[in-house]
Chains A and B, each alone.
Chain A
Amino acid sequence: MTIKSKLILSLIFFGIIALVVAVTLIVTLRQVNELDARDTTADKLLAEARDLSQLSNGYIFFHEKRHVVQWESKYNSMASLLAQLRVDQRQQEILIDNLAENQKLLKTIFNDVKATVEKSPLSTQHGGTLEFLQLSWSRLSVQTLGMILDASQLADLIRQERRAVEYHAVILIIAIIGVLIVFILVNYLFIYWRVLRSVATLREGTKIIGSGNLDYRIEEISRDEIGDLARAFNQMNVNLATVLASKEDLDREVAARRRTEDELRTTLADLERSNKELEQFAYVASHDLQEPLRMVSSYTQLLAERYENQLDEKAKKFINYAVDGAVRMQQLIHDLLVFSRVTTRGAAFETADSQAALGMAVANLGEAIHESGTVVTNDELPRIIADQTQLAQVFQNLISNAIKFRGRGQPRIHVSVEEEDRHWLFSVKDNGIGIDSRHKDKIFVIFQRLHTREEYPGTGIGLALCQRIIQRHGGEIWFNSKPGEGSSFYFTLPKRTEEGNGDEP
């Protein structure tokens, strides 16, 4: 049972007790009032009984008419008092009945006396009459005396009854109050003891939980509010343990991520170092590899020059092969360097004018364009976010290829662009010899060639370089072609914002 319902029950109990006390008091007061009234009536009865006795005597002795009138008045008032009086004790009822009986008897005797007196006035009374009157007087005296005794006894009884009622009421009230006091004391002590004990258990429990022992459960102390509090504490403990457990999971997760991050950082550092090493390698290649090549080519040439007269045609041809090999080797090394520098030496992605990039490419190829009679046309090209120099390199390589692999007619090259959702789609179309689609994978591989050097010179770096530049920009490059019908090279450049500069692949 909860403390709240206990308190409510106590209150109801107090209310009932108070009601009982009030009702008892009211009932008692009414009883006492009633008994007071009866007491007064009883006293009156006694007085009237005495008056009747005196009036009877007076009439017998003096025969005065007024005694008769007074006697009858008294008699009537006494009769009406007797009729009014209501009692609840058998003994009192008997007394009242006796009084009523005796009154009637008294009246019969008094009426006989009255008749006798009226027949023979005082002066004419003889011996017989006197005797009768004497006898009547005795009878009246006895009768009234009995009535007086009865009335006085009735009054006594009523008074006794009143006192008893008063006494019982007082006893009852004292008893009720006593019970009340005992109940309050017991109730108070019980609640006090239970609450204090529960609170003490609770305090101990919270102290243990507070010290970090989340597995601790407070014992079931009671089924009241403090018990609820204890259960809430236990639930809180369970929840707290769950929260702590998920926090531990989270901590583990964070630690794992931190480890991954560290590994990433290490990998990044490794990558940067290997990039630097690659750069160093490229530099070494450009200088130190070329030096011996130069020696080979220079001294074979010097040999051919200085000993021209002593060498036959075959020897000169061999020397030419040696020199040609060295020159090509040097070109390959140079191309490899250019290829490796796409990522290591690329500029930041900034606003670039693709029109200007195309212009640069066309200007660099001026001689080849002029000699081959090539016509280069283009759509209006947009400003984009890119490395403009590298974009120019792409245009230059694609146009240069288109010129190199031209068909029989006048070479025509058209550069166009389409804006799409996420990128710009550039295309370079020519009317050259075209490419067999079988070679679509080979064509972008570095130093991969589809023709002999005798047919078309070059190391085979151009398209590999284009692909590397486009990939650095996050785009793609591909082509559509049929042999004899020209080729179309397409490449995409993602739309970027200036802030996106850092996200190089």
Chain B
Amino acid sequence: MLAIRDVVGGYEDIQVLRGVSLDVRGGEIVGLLGPNGHGKSTLLKAIAGVHPATGGSIRFMDEEIIKAPPHRIVEAGIAYIPEERHLFSDMTVLENLQLGAYSRTARPEFRRNLELVFDVFPRLKERQRQVCMTMSGGESRMVAIARGLMSGARMLLIDEPSIGLAPSMKKAVYGAILRINQDAGITVLLVEQEIDYALRLTSRIYMMKRGAVQFERPSGEASVDELKEAYF
């Protein structure tokens, strides 16, 4: 579904991505692990087009998207859910969801996607009239994921969905991601710091270090110790 080859990119003088290659197949949840500052988030931004890569190839459903602007990538079926969320904080939950369905391809599917979102996040259905800036960190994270789903995406890029959340909220967010994958068949590429959570949720993981993939493992065969070691 997603094929990334030799992607390079970075910020001004600093090269962050030094030839990343990885694949995500339809229906998978793939985890992207690795120490901070080694290019995981930068890779997601490059796929989403919000911080374009400078070289290599990113193909989604057999179409080259490396030079496509973000709105074309959303239309192609990829939704990016950044760690910073970037919600429309002075608007209601419902308005955020309506904006999630802004793209041409998402509008006809609005009702169906809204049903899916309220099914996965019943709490958001209760609070659809609430203004986002008054919500807790966990609820905001749910709105961010829900807004991504509203685009009718076939693939979600989720950056650190659990960071800074209380354990119960973490479980709720992970449960939701699992349901999105299993019930709606949406593919997920996930950046995660917490190794044990990542292994339970994903089917495969990539270890990223110094801007490239160091190794790949099926999650069932990876050991926490081996992964922890790779961080250093």
Say whether A and B bind each other.
no
Query: Contact residues of B with A, CB < 8 Å?
Result: none
Query: Contact residues of A with B, CB < 8 Å?
Result: none
